């Protein structure tokens, strides 16, 4: 248990390290790999989803605790091999699921596994880590997806991840030039989401709930992000 920050418990670096090695996401990772292996066997071809989202960023930066698994795939036909609607092998382990044409959310007691159909936005090579069963999306690709696809509804956790990427990692990992080209048409929507977040009591509560050793002021971080949009992403 960490010290107190404005009435909220601060997550320590040691707690993040413990979560990395033995947190609930590890059980989700193992189940997801079992589902992927089963789908590959049924389809008789390779199936290599990439881990993205907050948990992938946690592996890169150890900046906050993330629980769920986001796996990105390129062919929507894999949803048919994974869905419990057509495959009951894993039914005893699953509480519920939500299936769409390009996504599948698996809900289990330990958390959620999301399979999401999405092509690469930046065209970067996948990465590997001895600490993960899946190949990894590059950090810049994770940020690109957050800002490109849901920048109009940016969440406090997305903002925190963005701030950490640009303040904790070397600049060559952010791929600023292709990122700027990609986001040029979405600057207005992202800025509107940031302005709404700055004065939102709900966003402030979510911000304080982020399990991180370092948590900057929300309003200051919103102002930083808006300036980043002006400096780097405006055409």
The residue segments making up the domain with residue 201 are: 4-233
Task: Count up the domains in the chain and report the number.
Answer: 1
Give CA–CA dist 7/218, Å, rounded. 15
Taking a C-beta distance cutoff of 8 angstroms, is the pair 135, 128 a contact? yes
CATH at residue 13 = 3.30.460.40
Each residue's pLDDT expressed in tens, for the chain with a length of 235 residues: 455 455 567 899 999 999 999 999 999 999 999 999 999 999 999 999 999 999 999 999 999 999 999 999 999 999 999 999 998 899 899 999 999 999 999 999 999 999 999 999 999 999 999 889 999 999 999 999 999 999 999 999 999 999 999 999 999 999 999 999 999 999 999 999 999 999 999 999 999 999 999 999 999 999 999 999 998 866 5
User: 7 — alpha (psi -120 to 50), left (phi > 0) or beta?
Assistant: left
């Amino acid at each position: 248990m960490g010290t107190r920050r404005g009435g909220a418990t601060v997550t320590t670096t040691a707690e993040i390290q413990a979560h990395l090695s033995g947190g609930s996401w590890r059980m989700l990772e193992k189940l997801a790999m079992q589902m992927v292996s089963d789908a590959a066997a049924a389809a008789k071809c390779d199936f290599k989803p990439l881990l993205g989202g907050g948990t992938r960023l946690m592996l890169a930066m150890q900046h906050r605790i993330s629980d769920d698994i986001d796996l990105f795939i390129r062919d929507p036909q894999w949803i048919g091999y994974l869905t419990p609607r057509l495959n009951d092998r894993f039914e005893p382990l699953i509480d519920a699921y939500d299936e769409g044409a390009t996504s599948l959310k698996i809900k289990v007691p330990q958390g959620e596994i999301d399979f999401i159909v999405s092509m690469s936005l930046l065209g970067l090579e996948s990465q590997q880590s001895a600490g993960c069963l899946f190949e990894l999306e590059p950090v810049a690709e994770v940020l690109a997806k957050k800002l490109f696809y849901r920048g109009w509804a940016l969440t406090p956790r997305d903002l925190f991840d963005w701030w950490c990427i640009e303040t904790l990692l070397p600049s060559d990992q952010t791929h600023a030039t292709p990122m700027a080209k990609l986001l040029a048409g979405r600057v207005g929507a992202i800025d509107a989401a940031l302005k709404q977040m700055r004065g939102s009591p709900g966003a402030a509560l979510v911000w304080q709930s982020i399990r991180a050793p370092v948590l900057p002021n929300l309003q200051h971080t919103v102002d930083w992000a808006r300036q980043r949009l002006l400096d780097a992403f405006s055409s």
